Structure 1
Amino acid sequence: MRNRETYAFFGEILDTLDVALCLFDPQDRTVLWNDAFLRFFPEHAGHVHAGEPYRENLLRFYRGRLSQAEQANIERYVEEGIERHRTQTRPFVFSHLGRRLRVASQPSPGGYRVRIWQDIAPEQAVPLRDQQWAIFPIDLLGYIADGAMVLDEEDRIIATNEEFRVLYDVPDERSVIGQTFAEVVREACLKAGQEDRAAEAAALDNLRFAGAPFEVCLPGGRWRRVIARRAANGVGFFTHSDITILKRQQTDLKRAMDELATIAATDVLTGLANRRRFDQALAEQWAKADARGGPIAVMLIDLDHFKAVNDTFGHAAGDECLRRVALAVQEAVTQSADVAARYGGEEFAVLLPNATGEEAMAIARSMRRSLRMEDWARIDPGLARLTVSIGICAVRNPAAVAAGDALRRADEMLYRAKNSGRDRIDLVEA
């Protein structure tokens, strides 16, 4: 990384101010950290290392702070922590090993993300439990349009308004004072005939990160958004709003966008991915193969003498030939990460993550066998057979070969196959 030294320099400056810093790359891998980071999070000392996924960082963080009962939800907590890491725009506060930490996060050029933690010195104050809550203007909660909830320093409910009770299906005769928010969520789930431990766990964990808005899903597809602020003495002030309609609209919009994206990435004639989608998948899968160090193969397939087919039997017959070849190509690739595409005209492309040269050859042979068994005369009695030429580039170490170079080599193998008599497969390994 070009600016690594600059970040390290500022990390040292922040050390003098007792401010922790950690830098992550676009794949959420640890790049560097300062000494204050290890003071605030001693569980990472001797374990954190350059290139470590943020997921591993979070697993250590949660293993040391969760009770035995909460350990069952650790994967959910980690996923939500990763989401906070990627989307955070405002600082929030949480407690860790006796410290009150304010954390800010900011994306930097090149897709990197900087996280900074500051220790907030607690105000000298009378313990909350010894204060007289009569001086708190609880009646003002009734004038807040959204649901409102106040928690003490032990996360027990001190006060709520009527809208809060409506949002969480609290019966008129039921008091929630002294309960936790997670217990209120659990009771709302039980009232609807569901024991949703996941919703309860999410509510419990998200309360720890005051200032980071979060969402709670209740039975029946109902959604609540919660925004929290905590005073230095630990008192929490929370607002709750009904975002069910918004979530449904977002779901409908996402579904429509996904459908449009699928249409935009699909070849209309064959139903395979189009060239644009293939190029995107090539870049994405190559980066993944580079990171994990596994093999990857690229295959280009071209119909032999296809112009003569169009000229002799017509474009309708030619289109049907393309559809049948596309089906043979699609049926030959079986892994979920494999991508089969119509690359242009009568040319097809296949991307095979995790495939060796031998495995790619086996797939190519399977395609040719399917095409030999095809009854081409059903398209036109005069069409006896249709063959393909195939070029393959199989890469053992994607870090050493660029995706574009692999595609170029596969194209060279394709032309070698065609120049050597067609209806054959040529492979190069790199």
Structure 2
Amino acid sequence: MSNTRIYSFLGTLLDSLDVALCLFDGQDRSLVWNATFLRFFPEHSGHVHAGEPYRENLRRFYDARLTGEERAMRDRYVSEGIARHRAQSRPFVFTHLGRRLKVASLPTPDGSRLRLWVQLADGASATGAGHHDFPIDLLDHIADGAAVLDQDDRIINTNAEFRILYDVPEGQSVVGASLEDVVHAAWARAGQPDGGARGFVRDALVFAGAPFEVELPGGRWRRVIARRIASGIGYFTHSDITELKRQQAALERALDELSAIAATDGLTGLANRRRFDTAIDEAWRACAEADTPMAVMVIDLDNFKLVNDRFGHAAGDECLRRVGAAVRGAVTRSGDLAARQGGEEFAVLLPNATADEALAVAQGIRRALRMERWTQVHPGLSSLTVSIGICALRRVGTVAVAQAMQQADEALYRAKNRGRDRIEIQPG
């Protein structure tokens, strides 16, 4: 019996216990769900399907929850929801369409992820304790900021560190306020809009149990970790992670720089072959989905071996740099990509470009090379030309990437065989 059939059977069994089930594969796509899942989340009925990305699932979920200005924050909530989905290791409680649901999620041995939901009875308590049983004065013995929230997410009490972390003025009470009110007030005191932080905090509290981060004015950040018992009382700790965020940002910048170096040809500054291969695969999928045209171009220097043999490799490298500059100068649209494939060969990716548009780019490259002062490279070098092969497709979905590159190569060979210094197009 296949894994999906086993989970389908399990889902039917859990229906009899009023437990919702949904199984996702390693790419966060829906595989199996049961009837209780659709009862708890009716917005998915008639829409969820096998292979649907979890992102689309979350969009419907938030469309059913968000109103007014909150809708503008939907994509941010979706991204946070995906992060929770991938990282969750402990159950948490939230409310949806009047139901208090407890959700558990863990990866399966085969790399999928299983999520289960159970509805909690009103007033049920996981511990048998309410906030009246909690010794409030213990909050001041906690090193981090601490707060207790009631079932309506209103603050019952906080410690002094909480007030410091959120810039609460001396003598001002926050009892009865919500955490989102406290965050909004911190931004207001700084004379700045909160950038949607208020709505984000409101939604994050719904999923208490999953840590979340709150931005404050001045580039400061707080991490909030919450535990909410079944009765709805929440116990929250708040820590200052500003320095950690700064270090993470510095690391990300360093990694981006390293990634850019790894994806760049050191001689010409163009993209290298690895980056081109990644970009063409992504562009191919996008153009196939949008049913738009695509063109790819292969460029090869004519008689380049003779240049190296007569004038030396230093002159040859300078020729490659100048050809790279000419190619870069002709590729001007956002989304286009010029790359050095290796040796004296270059390639250009032109998503959403017609054959005429690709031809115009190729002609621009040849014009730039005719105007180049090659004698500056070496007095004996009067000119340098290129041959260009183009594959221009009206519909990307009819041809694979490898086939298109082969057609561009074949067009290049025709240009070489017909005398060089010319452009040949393979339409599709």
1:344–1:6 Cα change, 3 Å: farther
> Is the Cα contact below 8 Å between 2:130 and 2:233 reproduced in 1?
no
1:367–1:242 Cα change, 3 Å: same
TM value normalised by structure 2: 0.88
State the one-letter code of the partner of 1:379.
Answer: V
CA distance in structure 2 between the partners assigned to 1:418 and 1:53 by the alignment: 47
Point out the more displaced range, 59-68 or 137-146. 59-68
CA distance in structure 1 between the partners assigned to 2:192 and 2:55 by the alignment: 30
Q: Does 2:50 match 1:60?
A: no
Point out the more displaced range, 316-325 or 298-307. 316-325
* Structure 2 counterpart of 1:410, from 398, 408, 411: 408
TM superposition shift of 1:122: 2.5
> Is the Cα contact below 8 Å between 2:301 and 2:385 reproduced in 1?
yes
What's 1:365 paired with?
363
Q: Does 2:55 match 1:71?
A: no
SS at match of 2:196: helix
Q: Does 2:373 match 1:375?
A: yes
TM superposition shift of 1:144: 1.5
What's 1:344 paired with?
342
Q: Does 2:190 match 1:192?
A: yes
SS at match of 1:207: helix
SS at match of 2:95: strand
CA distance in structure 2 between the partners assigned to 1:47 and 1:363 by the alignment: 44
TM superposition shift of 1:290: 4.1
* Structure 1 counterpart of 2:297, from 296, 299, 302: 299
CA distance in structure 2 between the partners assigned to 1:32 and 1:134 by the alignment: 42
> Is the Cα contact below 8 Å between 1:289 and 1:353 reproduced in 2?
yes
CA distance in structure 2 between the partners assigned to 1:292 and 1:339 by the alignment: 19
User: How do 1:64-213 residues align onto structure 2 when only pairs under 5 Å count?
Assistant: 64-106=64-106, 114=113, 116-122=115-121, 124=123, 134-213=132-211
TM superposition shift of 1:268: 1.3
What's 2:268 paired with?
270
Point out the more displaced range, 209-218 or 132-141. 132-141
SS at match of 1:155: coil
TM value normalised by structure 1: 0.88
CA distance in structure 1 between the partners assigned to 2:222 and 2:258 by the alignment: 29
Q: Does 2:327 match 1:329?
A: yes
Question: What is the number of equivalent residue pairs in this alignment?
Answer: 424
SS at match of 1:426: strand
Specify every segment of 5 or more residues in structure 2 that has no aligned partner in the other structure, as ranges.
none
SS at match of 1:195: coil
SS at match of 2:230: coil
Seq. identity, %: 63
Q: Give CA deviations for 1:129-180 in whole Å, capped at 9, x if unaligned.
A: xx99653211111221111111000000011111111111112211111110
> Is the Cα contact below 8 Å between 2:315 and 2:378 reproduced in 1?
yes
State the one-letter code of the partner of 1:344.
Answer: G
CA distance in structure 1 between the partners assigned to 2:397 and 2:155 by the alignment: 55
1:324–1:144 Cα change, 3 Å: same
RMSD of aligned C-alpha atoms? 2.9
1:157–1:63 Cα change, 3 Å: same
Q: Does 2:34 match 1:34?
A: yes
Specify every segment of 5 or more residues in structure 1 that has no aligned partner in the other structure, as ranges.
none
